[in-house]
């Protein structure tokens, strides 16, 4: 069993100072990368300004537009709300999503941040998926990392595969030890022994995006760079190729609450 997972901050589907809509290019990129599970940040699921300007079909949310038939299962966690719309994190999956919950981990009123937790049935194996977008300030990130660790320790059973991915804004790598040592996870770029830079997209210099894995073998990790990706967002996607689950595989229980 192979599993390709991707994390990608899509910057609400716009790029540049002029904030040109690039959501069509983002959608094409998502489909071309042929992932099994995609963790997205800054999905602007509602934007009345784009609809009014006839730049987006009002019959589709941004999430539904990105998913289509390629990713039949998806969940969205709304983090920031404003008068003309809202944005947040999302998970797209080829595998059934059994349940999901969105948690507010905002540290102050100037940044709305969230933790989207879902459980997927991956070939009969219950796999927990957590998509995050941490804050711009170090103290906020430290407290948000504590919230993440607490969530996993309280809700995710030991021995169950876990993938945590997103935009951690952790440019100085202060959170790696806290997350890896406490949760027994491995950061995917360690599989190749080098940092995988994901920001800014036109010349990646910092690794703001991460994929932490517990319970799966990490076979390979890489960032998708180049001109096409630089034109889609201010981040580039981070990809991890996962192999067989390690140790005992946990069969899923019948869920009481199903996601879309």
- Lowest-confidence pick of 73-77, 114-118, 199-203, 245-249: 245-249
pLDDT band at residue 16 under the 50/70/90 scheme: low
Q: Does residue 1 register a pLDDT over 90?
A: no
pLDDT averaged over every residue in the chain: 86
Question: pLDDT class for 124, splitting at 50, 70, 90?
Answer: very high
Residue 117 lies in a domain: yes
Give dist(CA 129, CA 110) in Å, integer.
Answer: 27
Number of domains in the chain: 1
Sheet order of strands, 125-133 included? 97-104, 114-122, 125-133, 162-167, 209-214, 186-187
Which stretch of DSSP H or E encloses residue 28? helix 23-32
The pLDDT score that the predictor gives to residue 220 is 93
Per-residue model confidence (pLDDT) at position 253: 47
13, burial (CB in 10 Å: exposed 0-12, middle 13-18, buried 19+): buried
Does residue 150 form part of some domain?
yes
239 found inside a domain: yes
Reported as a single tens digit per residue, the pLDDT across 77-119 is: 988 777 766 678 999 999 999 999 999 998 888 878 899 999 9
Q: What is the mean pLDDT of residues 178-190?
A: 92
Does residue 159 belong to any structural domain of this protein? yes
Q: Per-residue pLDDT for 171 more than 50? A: yes
The per-residue pLDDT for 68 is: 80
- How many C-beta neighbours within 10 Å does residue 100 have? 21
Distance from the first to the final alpha carbon of the chain? 24
Please, which pLDDT band fits residue 45 given cuts at 50, 70 and 90? low
Q: 239 is in which domain, residue-wise?
A: 3-245
255 occurs within a structural domain: no
Q: What is the average per-residue pLDDT within 173-182? A: 92
Say if 110 falls within a structural domain: yes
The CATH code of the domain that includes 167 is: 3.60.10.10
- Tell whether pTM > 0.85: yes
Residue 65 maps to a domain: yes
| Overall average pLDDT of the 234-260 stretch | 68
- Residue 259 in any domain: the answer is no
Supply the angle between the helices 176-183 and 138-155 in degrees, to the nearest 10: 10
């Amino acid at each position: 069993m192979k599993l390709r997972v991707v994390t990608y901050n899509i910057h609400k589907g716009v790029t540049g100072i002029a904030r040109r809509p690039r959501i069509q290019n983002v959608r094409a990129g998502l489909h071309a990368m042929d992932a099994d599970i995609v963790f997205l940040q800054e999905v602007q699921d509602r934007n009345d300004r784009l609809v009014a300007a006839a730049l987006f079909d009002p019959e589709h949310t941004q999430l539904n537009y990105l998913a289509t038939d390629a990713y039949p299962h998806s969940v969205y966690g709304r983090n920031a709300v404003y008068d003309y719309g809202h944005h947040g994190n999302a998970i797209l999956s080829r595998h059934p999503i059994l349940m999901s919950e969105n948690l507010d981990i905002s540290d102050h009123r100037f940044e709305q941040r969230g933790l989207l937790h879902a459980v997927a049935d991956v070939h009969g194996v219950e796999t927990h998926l957590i998509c995050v977008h941490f804050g711009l300030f170090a103290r906020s990130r430290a407290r948000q990392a504590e919230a993440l660790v607490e969530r996993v320790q309280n809700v995710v059973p030991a021995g169950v595969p876990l993938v945590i991915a997103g935009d951690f804004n952790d440019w100085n790598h202060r959170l790696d030890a806290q997350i890896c040592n406490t949760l027994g996870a491995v950061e995917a770029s360690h599989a190749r022994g080098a940092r995988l830079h994901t920001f800014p997209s036109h010349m990646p210099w910092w690794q703001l995006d991460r994929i932490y894995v517990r319970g799966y073998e990490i076979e390979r990790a890489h960032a998708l760079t180049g001109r096409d990706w630089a034109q889609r967002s201010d981040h580039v996607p981070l990809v991890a190729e996962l192999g067989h689950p390690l140790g005992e595989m946990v069969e899923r229980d019948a869920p009481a609450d199903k996601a879309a």
